Amino acid sequence: MQKRSQVTITIDILEATSKPQNKMRIMYQANLNYVRFHRYLADFLSKGFIEAIKDADGKGFYRITQQGKALLEVLRKANELGYSI
């Protein structure tokens, strides 16, 4: 299997949060190990690409923000153009 680029990993995480999801589902969907996933998650939360929300029962979820959606669109274009770092 070819190593995924950081751009592709970012796309995978952002796509996994298009609906509110819990941490584990995002982690599995983005196919990352625990440590790497949490590093990305903390980074994306701090930059405002993803937001933490709670449902009526107080359960925590994560969801892509408007800024994250804009970034997702831009990174898909970069990917199409062959950019992979």
- Binding positions for a copy of itself, rule: CB under 8 A: 6-7, 10, 47-49, 67, 70-71, 74-75, 77-78, 81-83, 85
Beta bridge mates, 51: 63
Query: Which lies closer to a copy of itself via its Cβ, residue 44 or residue 62?
Result: 44
Q: Which two tokens stand for residue 9?
A: 């990993």
Tell me which residue of 11, 17, 15, 13 sits closest to 80, measured CA to CA. 11
What is the H or E stretch that residue 13 is in? helix 6-16
Query: Rounded to the nearest whole angstrom, what is the least distance from the CB of residue 49 to a copy of itself in the complex?
Result: 8
Query: Which lies closer to a copy of itself via its Cβ, residue 23 or residue 78?
Result: 78
